[in-house]
Amino acid sequence: MTKTTAPYPTTLELLERLIAFPTVSADSNLDLIDFVERHLTEAGFRTHRLPDPSGRKAGLMARLGGDGPGGVMLSAHSDVVPVEGQNWTRPPFRLTRDGDRLYGRGTTDMKGYLATMLSLATRAAKTPPERPLMLAISYDEEVGCVGIRQMLPGYEALGWQPELCIVGEPTAMRPAIGHKGKIALQATCRGTAGHSSLAPRYVNALHLAAEFITALRRLQDHYAHSAARDPGYDVPYSTVHAGRMQGGTALNIVPDHARIEFELRHLPGDTQEDFLTRLRQETDRILRPFRTQDAAAQIAIERTNAYPGFQIAPDHEAARRVAVLSGAHETIKVAYGTEAGYFAQLGIPTLICGPGDMEGQGHKPDEYVTMAQLGSCDRMMDRLLMQLDASRSAR
């Protein structure tokens, strides 16, 4: 590895501290937020803590530089996915280096990027930039972008108007210009309990569930053969997925309930509203014959979560700018969801660009980020700091 791609020592020190906080989404992130807020306050940033409704978690907004509009916002989430059930060969919450690789839960997704943000804050503190540098640190991203949605009212009250937002999810430092939207749902099927020896007399909730899953497969087939396609994605069409089914209590009891958890990940041209309309039509068709036997047969559908899709034109000024900052001129689209759609909905030109590779490293045992990727991100931050301060660029 060449010297020019090595991460700054401060970045490595910060990453080591961040990995040591076990901020799994189910647990509190307040210790990490306390550490980050102290670091940014000492660097001269103005900080604004945005607690979640429970008080066990918080997001953080921070700002340095000019008071006017414009400037750039960098966005990272603080939570990580669990390690239980994974076969780690290294301690997940202690940073371990092996050659070019830095191991630990969150190194790729996405505390590596957060470390470069905080390292940039240290450098920016020496001479605050003329135009504002803003940082957004959220919670509960890994459970469906819940935290940023709760933070938005507090963020909007600040009145900040960045001209660019870079969400640092792992893209191998390539600018990402899109991802699909998602809606997560739950279908609760209600039948009639009875002794299994008389099973034909009752509505079996698992039979309802089986018909419902078959309907989901029909909807998936519809999307797979529709005209709405985007070759920028690994799967170029909207996808319907059933991930979990539960039902019944014992073999000798006709089950009166079953539950299916499922999702739609959709292209911009395939709206959630259209999907829900088609789903209601399918549900009505399924229930019709069952209700001739028992009018109480039911399939209730509940939305459990959703986040918006995201896209920006590859020739947008913001996309060209991030290409220059990152040094990578090939734009990509990512398969996973991010918080980028929320910032874009606020009218902020947004891209995704950060160190690491989600497919190869994210959410896996022995998660790692390479020194070279972290160093490339540090250099992107240096170029950004120069852009925010004309006097630096002139030197």
Measure the CA–CA gap between 213 and 371, rounded to whole angstroms: 45
> What's the pLDDT score for residue 394?
43
Angle subtended by helix axes 112-126 and 30-42, to nearest 10: 20
Burial 320-331 (b: 16+ CB within 10 A, else e): ebbbebbebeeb
Name the helix (H) or strand (E) containing 186: strand 181-190
| Mean local confidence (pLDDT), 55-84 | 95
pLDDT tens, residue by residue, 96-154: 999 999 999 999 999 999 999 999 999 999 889 999 999 999 999 999 999 999 999 99
Number of neighbours of residue 236 by Cβ within 10 angstroms: 13
pLDDT of amino acid 389:
84
Model pLDDT for residues 289-333, shown as the tens digit of each residue: 999 999 999 999 999 999 999 999 999 999 999 999 999 989 999
Query: Is residue 79 flagged as an active site residue?
Result: yes
Q: Is the pLDDT of residue 364 over 50?
A: yes
Residue 2 confidence (pLDDT) above 60: no
Which of these is catalytic: 141, 211, 256, 366?
141
Tell me: the pLDDT tens digits for 325-342? Answer: 999 989 999 999 999 999
Q: Which of 79, 109, 282, 357 is catalytic?
A: 79
Residue 274 is among the residues annotated as catalytic for this protein = no
